[in-house]
């Protein structure tokens, strides 16, 4: 069982990394493998809406997005973590997620998703809501915690002083582990849910 974790911060040892560290420790206790990919420091541009991925089966820009895609395909869960920038996720992470979810055709249903945001003071919930949208449109059950998955801090390291925030992260990891293990058992017992052919109505005739 494996969880892929994306860190949207440009800081390898910043507050978002420390929040992810809380999850990582719990996953280790739960015998779940983890891999963290540092996204925020990469040179990534946004989706150009060329629709080339529909033919290629991957993004036409062969960068970190396609590398993440193959790891995501094999993972049982995806954690997406972001520092809050102007009440939104970091722009580099958003560019990666737009292209990752749009360009990949593998079935993401029943892979567990979890988002978390870290900020100094405000906009953490709106950024958190935005990240959850990628999971919801993909049939991915979302792991939740004892509160919205947010923690406060500004300078690197400060987030550790947010004891409630750090507990939220640990609880999130325990809930996510339980969900992934339960889904694995459920798949054995019942298989995966039936999938109808996609009906696309754009309300344009
Ligand atoms: C461009 C920019 C915009 C920011 N906007 C917000 C914001 O809207 N709300 C907030 O609470 N913090 C904001 N912050 C603060 C960061 O979210 C905060 O310092 C966070 O802990 C950084 O995480 P990191 O150490 O993982 O990079 C902003 C920081 C930057 C650089």
* Separation between Cα atoms, residue 63 and residue 42, nearest integer Å: 10
Whether residue 195 is contained in a domain is answered as no
Within-domain flag for 128:
yes
Domain CATH code at residue 114: 3.40.50.360
Overall domain count for the chain: 1
Q: Which amino acid residue places its CA nearest to atom 9 of ligand 1?
A: 122
Q: Which residue has a Cα nearest atom 5 of ligand 1?
A: 85
Q: What spacing in Å lies between the alpha carbon of 170 and ligand 1's midpoint?
A: 22
Which residues, listed in sequence order, are joined to residue 143 by a DSSP beta bridge?
A: none
Distance between Cα 120 and ligand 1 center (Å): 6
139 lines ligand 1 (CB under 6 A): no
Q: Report yes or no on 124 lying in a domain.
A: yes
Q: Is 6 inside a domain boundary?
A: yes
**Is there a domain that residue 199 lies in?**
no
Residue 198 within a domain: no
| Average pLDDT over the chain, rounded to an integer | 97
Atom of ligand 1 nearest to the CA of 40: 27
* Domain with 140 in it: 2-190
| Residue pair 25/19 in contact by the 8 Å Cβ criterion | no
Q: Residue 68 falls within a domain, yes or no?
A: yes
In a domain, 201, yes or no: no
Q: Encode pLDDT of 160-188 as tens digits.
A: 999 999 999 999 999 999 999 999 999 99
Q: What is the pLDDT of residues 109-118, one digit of tens each?
A: 999 999 999 9
Top mutation candidate among 7, 21, 39, 119 for ligand 1, by most atoms within 8 Å of CB: 119
């Amino acid at each position: 069982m494996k969880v892929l974790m994306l860190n949207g911060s440009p800081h390898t040892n910043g507050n978002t990394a420390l929040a992810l560290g809380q999850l990582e420790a719990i996953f280790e206790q739960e015998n779940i493998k983890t891999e963290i990919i540092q996204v925020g420091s990469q040179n990534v541009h946004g989706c150009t809406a060329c629709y080339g991925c529909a033919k290629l089966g991957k993004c036409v820009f062969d960068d970190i997005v396609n590398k993440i895609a193959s790891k995501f395909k094999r993972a049982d869960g995806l954690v997406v973590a972001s520092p809050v920038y102007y009440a939104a996720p970091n722009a580099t992470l958003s560019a990666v997620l737009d292209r990752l979810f749009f360009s990949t055709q593998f079935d993401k249903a029943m892979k567990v998703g979890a988002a978390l945001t870290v900020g100094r003071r405000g906009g953490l919930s709106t950024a958190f809501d935005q990240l959850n949208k990628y999971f919801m449109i993909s049939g991915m059950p979302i792991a939740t915690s004892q509160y919205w998955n947010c923690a406060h801090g500004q300078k690197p390291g400060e987030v550790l002083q947010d004891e409630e925030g750090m507990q939220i992260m640990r609880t999130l990891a325990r809930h996510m582990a339980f969900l992934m293990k339960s889904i694995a058992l459920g798949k054995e017992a019942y298989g995966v849910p039936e999938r109808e052919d996609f009906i696309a109505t754009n309300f344009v005739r």
